[in-house]
Amino acid sequence: MTPPLLAFEDVAKSFTLHLRGGAVLPVIAGATLAVRPGECVVLGGASGAGKSSLLKMAYGNYRCAAGAIRVRDGARIVDLATAAPREILGLRRTTLSYVSQFLRVIPRVGARAVVEAAGLEGGLAPAAARTRAGDLLARLNLPERLWALPPATFSGGEQQRVNIARGLIADRPILLLDEPTASLDARNRAVVVDLITEKRAAGTAILGIFHDADVREAVATRIVDVSAFHGALAA
Amino acid sequence: MNPSNPAAAPAAVTVSAGPGYSFAYLDAGTKRMIRRAILKAIAIPGYQVPFAAREMPMPYGWGTGGVQVTAAILGAADVLKVIDQGADDTTNAVSIRRFFTATAGIATTTRTAEASVIQTRHRIPEAPLVEGQVLVYQVPIPEPLRFLEPRETETRQLHALAEYGLMHVKLYEDIARHGHIATTYAYPVEVAGRYVMDPSPTPKFDNPKMDDCPALQLFGAGREKRIYAIPPYTRVRSLDFEDHPFRVQSFDRPCALCGAEGVYLDEVVLDDAGGRMFVCSDTDHCESRLGESCLGETRRADGQTGEAA
Amino acid sequence: MDPLLSVEGLTKRYGRRLACDGIGFTLDPGEVLAVVGESGSGKSTLLSLVAGEVAADAGSVAYRMRDGATRDLDTLSAVERRALMRTDWGFVRQDATQGLRMAVSAGGNVGERLMGIGDRHYGRIRATALDWLARVEIAPDRVDDPPTRFSGGMRQRLQIARNLVTAPRLVLMDEPTSGLDVSVQARLLDLIRGLVAELGLAVIIVTHDLAVARLLSHRVLVMRAGRVIETGLTDQVLDDPQAAYTQLLVSSVLAA
């Protein structure tokens, strides 16, 4: 079997709430899972089970309380739990792509330019970034008249499609998806399903959260119930 | 005779320094202090040397700095010339000449060639200066960078490190506003390839005369308490831009009195009807030429009628 | 390769108050570090210490010069140090009147650094100034206006042009957007973000505004009472703050 691109090993996460008298809020414990090239592992479990936290840890956005999150970066393996900030930033440029639920709007930059910039950051040549940004926005049915406008003025669904295009434009080996289809209509959900399928076929390792049962069924190669990672918490 | 009103009693100026007055007014200790400052200034061309300027019996702005420098260097054998805007006969020039006649009893002259010490405000004589002469400038604001940098601590630092970009900022502003370097007087110069210096409010027309000049040039600022100097035969370069090189003013006509060309002219308004003429700013130069029968257009016209009479 | 800037143990006391207590960090080329904290946390003092404008009681600042050699700034002569500050470093001040020559035209403000390093060609200086004014979105017909006639946002943009004209590799920014209207702030931030990325600038930006830190910086240093409370990846520190003080700071502002 091909080695995983992303592997959680006995990962734990808890929040210490200093503003609430130092209360410790455990979220995850003993999480172990691996994502291989071409796999789309979907995180399941009730809301609040820690699905988003796992995804955020995989992107280095949340810290790990224990365990290791190993990311394969070319020939070497980096443990996100102990990696220095610069290493994490480096992985985000080359290896990790993350599509959040909401677009963090950058003022004054047009939709296409937002997507294009992500492509450039991901190592695409300027011409390729521009073409691919246009292709993606077109596939996601964002009217071309909106491409030059800053997404701040867009509807939630339109913003989310810009966000997806931004997350998918570069060919990074690992793709993290946090409910990318939440605010989309059926037609655009289908487009996203196609895009994910293509990424998977190209060998991308995908870890995602999808609330929609039909989307989940369409893209998942495997579903991991995050509730299983709570056993250690109870103990 | 009537010291309370000397202006009304010209005879008083012939009285030499009375008992209690030192030669050339200043006491020996003060002169030593000023001479030390002068020697330092000569040793570091263009560098502003602080000195303990004294109160002088004339208001600031009337040349107290220049007068102290002159007083410190005058000897009994010196011949003094004093000019103000090129003229020997303005109130300022006359009163300073009288001051030194009264306090040092030295000879005075209006002839550039005859003078050993020339104190000046706002001009350099047209006649070339020679070795052995000393030109003493009266300076109101010695700091060329003051226009853009009000902090003395900072301007000293800039001089110390020879950071003179700021001086070009001023010239840049000139060109941006006027299309050319509009600074026509107090035009900054670089002395001996090191210090940037304010040549006092002389017209930039005179700047080239400072370069490689055989005479010693001393600058005294009384209110600001600074002395600086250009030793004889020192390189003095006017700052400029490659594409806006330094140029002196040129006049499209000769002096109306003596016909001199290539000299600095003053505009003289003749009447209320707007009549005006341009004449030599250097009165001695003009009179010398007239003595040699060089005539400008006015005198040629006058001359005909005058000789006919 | 050495980092571009290495700060170690920087300490400054004002009387009995510790303004900075043993602050250390490194900065790589192209890296943006935000220093956040409340007023009086020592963040502005830290910037002054790094720039050498205030003498540190202890600690060192080392910088990798253009020739590749890393030098302790204390060992530079005054001439070298000032030359470094007006060529390879920039400093954008909170108060534009401290960072600009208010009596000099916009073009003269931008051209000063060029003249400072010996450019003596008026036409070239002016062309470069116009180019930079355009890059910071100041209309060319304002080139001869002094900054006294500029709005707050324009003054800050002019400061940026004035600093970047010599292609510095490190720019220090002290609250560059505070005191501006929100919409003006957004425009300025976007401009800074674009220039930093395009020119690969290393930046230390001092701000009390966590949204500014999130938008511009890669890493963040949280300061309080002269000490570093927490440091790390900007989004990690803001989204998953560990220290009690950082949690308070993050929770006491509008969503950043």
Quick: pLDDT tens for B183-197: 899 999 999 999 999
- Distance between CA atoms of A37 and C85, rounded to whole angstroms? 50
pLDDT of residue A46: 83
Average pLDDT over residues B257-262: 92
**C138 burial type by CB count under 10 A (0-12 exposed, 13-18 middle, 19+ buried):** buried
Please tell me the distance from the alpha carbon of residue B230 to that of residue B209, in angstroms, as a whole number.
12
Report the alpha-carbon distance of residue B88 to residue B111 in Å, rounded.
9
- Cβ–Cβ contacts within 10 Å for residue C59, how many? 19
Produce one character per residue of B73-85: b if its CB has 16 or more CB atoms within 10 Å, e if not: bbeeebebbbbbb
Q: What is the mean pLDDT of residues C79-86?
A: 92
Query: Residue B214 and residue B134: Cα distance in Å, rounded?
Result: 9
Site of tokens 């102290």: B68
**Which chains pack against C, by 3+ Cβ pairs within 8 A?**
A, B
Instruction: Identify which of B69, B141, B130, B77 has the alpha carbon closest to the alpha carbon of residue B108.
Output: B77
Residue A7: is its pLDDT beyond 90?
yes
Q: What pLDDT was estimated at residue B147?
A: 82
Tokens of C145: 């206006």
Lowest mean pLDDT among A206-210, B164-168, C26-30, C249-253: C249-253
Q: How far apart are CA A173 and CA A97, in angstroms?
A: 8
Identify the active-site residue in B46, B63, B65, B222.
B46
- The three-state secondary structure class of B101 is helix
Distance CA C201, CA B72 (A): 58
pLDDT tens for residues B37-63?
999 999 999 999 999 999 998 888 889
- Rounded to the nearest 10 degrees, how much is the dihedral formed by the CA atoms of A195, A199, A200, A205? -130
Q: What is the mean pLDDT of chain B?
A: 89
Dihedral of alpha carbons A46, A49, A54, A56, sign? positive
Q: Which two tokens mark C228? A: 């570093």
Amino acid present at B193: G
pLDDT at A97: 94
- Band (B4; pLDDT cuts 50, 70, 90): very low
Active site residue B294: no
Nearest to A137 by CA among A195, A205, A207, A216: A195
Cα-to-chain-centroid distance, residue B125? 9
Q: Give the whole-angstrom CA distance, residue C207 versus residue C174.
A: 7
Secondary-structure percent of chain B, ordered helix, strand, coil, rounded to 5 = 35, 20, 50
Which 3 state secondary structure label does DSSP give C219? strand
A18 to C244: CB separation less than 8 angstroms, yes or no: yes
pTM of the entire predicted model:
0.87
pLDDT number for residue B20: 65
List C-alpha distances in Å: B1 to A174, B11, B18, B21, C54: 107, 8, 12, 16, 63
Give the whole-number percent of chain B exceeding pLDDT 70: 90
Residue B46: active-site member: yes
Instruction: Point out the least confidently predicted range of B13-27, B206-220, C138-152, C216-230.
Output: B13-27
Q: What is the pLDDT of residues A64-111, one digit of tens each?
A: 999 999 999 988 999 999 999 999 999 999 999 999 888 876 677 899
* Residue in C85, C115, C133 to test binding to B, most B beta-carbons within 10 Å: C115
Residue C183's pLDDT band, with cuts at 50, 70 and 90, is confident
- Distance from C-alpha of A140 to C-alpha of A191, rounded to nearest angstrom: 6
C-chain residue closest to B239, CA distance? C120
ipTM of the complex: 0.90
- Percentage of chain C beyond pLDDT 70 is 98
To the query of whether residue B258 is one of the catalytic residues in this protein, the response is yes
Residue B13 has pLDDT above 50, yes or no: no
> Quick one: pLDDT band at residue C186, thresholds 50, 70, 90?
confident
Per-residue pLDDT averaged across B140-168, rounded? 93
Identify the band that residue B305 occupies on the pLDDT scale cut at 50, 70 and 90.
very low
Residues 27-86 of C with CB under 8 A from A: 28, 31
* A115 pLDDT higher than 50: yes
pLDDT tens figures, B75-115: 999 999 999 999 999 999 999 999 999 999 999 999 999 99
- A119-128 own/partner pairs: CB under 8 Å, 24+ apart: A119/A169, A119/A170, A121/A93, A121/A170, A122/A93, A122/A97, A122/A169, A122/A170, A122/A171, A122/A172, A123/A93, A123/A94, A123/A170, A124/A169, A124/A170
Say what angle helices A111-121 and A156-168 make with each other, to 10 degrees.
20
Q: pLDDT band at residue B297, thresholds of 50, 70 and 90?
A: confident
Residue B255 among the catalytic residues: yes
Residue B25 DSSP one-character state: B
**C26's torsion region: left (phi>0), alpha (psi -120 to 50) or beta?**
beta
Chain B: give the shortest CA distance to residue C49, in Å. Answer: 19
Tell me, what's the pLDDT at A74?
Answer: 87
- B231-258 pLDDT, tens digit each: 999 999 999 999 999 999 889 999 999 9
The per-residue pLDDT for A101 is 82
CA–CA gap between residue B210 and residue B218 (Å, rounded): 11
| Chain C CB contacts of A60 below 8 Å | 233, 236
pLDDT reported for residue C254:
57
Q: Is pLDDT larger for residue B14 or for residue A36?
A: A36
Contact A40, A33 (CB under 8 A): no
Q: Is the distance from CB of C43 to CB of C214 less than 8 angstroms?
A: no
Question: Are the beta carbons of C194 and C163 closer than 8 angstroms?
Answer: no
B64-73 and B91-104 helices, crossing angle to 10°: 30
CA distance B245 to chain C (A): 10
CA dist B133 and B231 (Å) reads 11
H helices of chain B, where? 28-43, 64-73, 91-104, 152-160, 165-178, 207-210, 283-291, 297-308
User: What is the rounded average pLDDT of the residues A52-60?
Assistant: 95
Q: Is residue B280 flagged as an active site residue?
A: yes
Name the residue type at position B117.
V
